Structure 1
Amino acid sequence: MARMHTRRRGSSDSDKPVADEPPEWSDVDADAIEERVVELAEQGHSPSEIGMKLRDEGVQGTPIPDVKLATDKKVTEILEDHDAEPDVPEDLRNLMDRAVRLRDHMEENPTDYQNKRALQNAEAKIRRLVDYYRGDEMPVDFTYSYDVAVDILEE
């Protein structure tokens, strides 16, 4: 897929190996995995951080290479089932964090035109994502602004 804000083509990503079942050495119970996912979410970890922690630390000392293969649910689905999902989708939160950091940088460096363009691109992407999520994960009357982003990120 082409890049959104440049005229260059994107680089290809690596694909996960095709697997229908978890490896034999990872024989942790699905309920234990779900409990650990909810526990990590309550500690304030994002879904991607939860996946990395399960991959690195595991459950009961056994690493979990792929939560979906072990439980037949994605991490976000597990969080939805246990009412532990984050208020703002992770991709939108990460973009808001980037925009806030860029805005703070622009206040200190007003002639940095390259980062001014990066801020415009990030905010445009945020507005598109808000339109996508509006009504489902975000309130219908939600509109993006710098102050709203700062408030969301402080929570």
Structure 2
Amino acid sequence: DKKELEDLIVSLAQDGNSTAIIGTILRDQHAVPDVRLVTGERISQTLARNGISPRYPEDMMNLMRRALSLIDHLAGNRKDLHNRRQLELCESKIRRLARYYKSNGQLDENWAYKRDQLRLMVE
């Protein structure tokens, strides 16, 4: 059962699903409430062991997508001070996560958050 679940996780990841969506699919469609109880490791660890880990960690990518949507919003709404502040907070979270991932070795040491290159990173 452990091997079947691992194969299912890998196939779902190859279909383009994120780790959070893989967990939701396994919970709702395959009656697996917690992958970690069955396999003994997290979904991201299973994917990393099989060589399918993404370029950026999922939480950081979600924050970068959010920052990009805020930048697009502020391009048309220059006086929206509330969302300008939200963009600053979001970028601060990205920088803090980057510092953590650099110390863990999950992110390249010379990687830096740049607002003008964000669209290229998010793809």
Whole-angstrom CA distance in 2 between matches of 1:35 and 1:131: 33
Q: Name the counterpart of 1:129.
A: 97
Residues 73-112 of structure 1, C-alpha deviations (whole Å, 9 max, x = no match): 1111111110111110011001001100000000010000
What RMSD over aligned residues (CA atoms) do the two structures have, in Å? 1.1
Whole-angstrom CA distance in 1 between matches of 2:95 and 2:13: 26
Q: Name the counterpart of 1:143.
A: 112
Whole-angstrom CA distance in 2 between matches of 1:46 and 1:119: 24
**Structure ID, larger Rg:** 1
Report the count of equivalent residues. 122
Q: Name the counterpart of 1:37.
A: 9
Of structures 1 and 2, the one scoring higher in RCO (CA 8 A, sep 6+) is 2
What secondary structure does 1:48 align onto?
Answer: helix
- Aligned-pair identity (%): 38
Matched, 1:152 2:121: yes
What secondary structure does 1:141 align onto?
Answer: coil
Runs of 4+ in 1 over 4 A off after TM superposition: none
Compute the TM-score of the two structures, normalised by the length of structure 1.
Answer: 0.75
Structure 1 alignment gaps of length 5 or more: 1-28
Higher helix residue share: 2
